[in-house]
């Protein structure tokens, strides 16, 4: 049976549903990040996420089974966006600076440093996580060195708990590239 399209649309019905699905998930993730920026992870519930996202609880549960699933989707989205920005940043130093600046200035991470420090530490030790590996591949693209990648990853992970200034991000990124490329 062929999907019917509305008289006002040139897209099939299911293509429209896919767009609605993506917008709903985007609203849920944006609402969740906003809540984390204000309260941290441990102080929010699925009800809070539903309210902040302006979706019904039923809709929220149709997209995500629980808070951990929402958090995993948010983390995936954030890392993928960060890697895309860093990959398109320009020079190797620009790539590392982009990663550093994002980590050091992200409002959700700032709140988590205060309210969920142990959770941050627990997440950072899982170097076999596919998202960690995605980030490491991005860093390797900048450093072109296994040793440089290891050093840069430790530098970036340190900023999760101890952020640095924009100036420090630039200076240290340039130094890392200079020291690892030669």
Q: What is the residue extent of each domain of the chain?
A: 13-181
Residue 75 CA, chain-centre distance (Å), reads 4
Q: What integer is the mean pLDDT of 146-156? A: 92
**Rounded CA gap, 182 and 164, in Å?**
25
Q: Which helix (H) or strand (E) holds 17?
A: helix 13-39
Distances (CA, A) of 172 to 83, 87, 157, 176: 19, 18, 14, 6
Q: Could you report the per-residue pLDDT of 75-130, keeping only the tens digit for each?
A: 999 999 999 999 999 999 999 999 999 999 999 989 998 888 888 777 777 778 88
pLDDT of 13 higher than 60: no
Q: Could you report the per-residue pLDDT of 86-99, keeping only the tens digit for each?
A: 999 999 999 999 99
Average pLDDT of the chain to the nearest whole number: 87
Sign of the torsion angle spanned by Cα atoms 97, 178, 155, 129: positive
What homologous superfamily does CATH list for 13-181?
A: Tetracycline Repressor, domain 2 (1.10.357.10)
Say if residues 63 and 28 touch (Cβ distance below 8 Å).
yes
User: What pTM was computed for the model?
Assistant: 0.81
């Amino acid at each position: 049976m062929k999907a019917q399209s509305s008289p006002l649309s040139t897209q099939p019905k299911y293509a429209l549903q896919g767009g609605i699905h993506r917008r709903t998930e985007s609203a849920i993730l944006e609402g969740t990040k906003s809540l984390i920026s204000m309260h941290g992870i441990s102080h929010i519930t699925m009800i809070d996420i539903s309210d902040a996202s302006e979706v019904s609880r039923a809709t929220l549960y149709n997209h995500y089974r629980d808070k951990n699933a929402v958090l995993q989707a948010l983390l995936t989205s954030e890392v993928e966006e960060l890697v895309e920005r860093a990959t398109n940043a320009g020079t190797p130093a620009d790539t590392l600076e982009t990663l550093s600046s994002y980590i050091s200035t992200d409002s959700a991470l700032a709140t988590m440093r205060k309210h969920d420090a142990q959770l941050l530490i627990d997440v950072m030790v899982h170097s076999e996580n596919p998202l960690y590996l995605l980030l490491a591949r991005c860093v390797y693209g900048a450093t072109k060195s296994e040793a440089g990648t290891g050093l840069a990853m430790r530098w970036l992970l340190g900023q999760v708990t101890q952020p640095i200034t924009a100036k420090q991000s630039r200076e240290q990124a340039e130094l890392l590239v200079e020291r690892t490329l030669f």
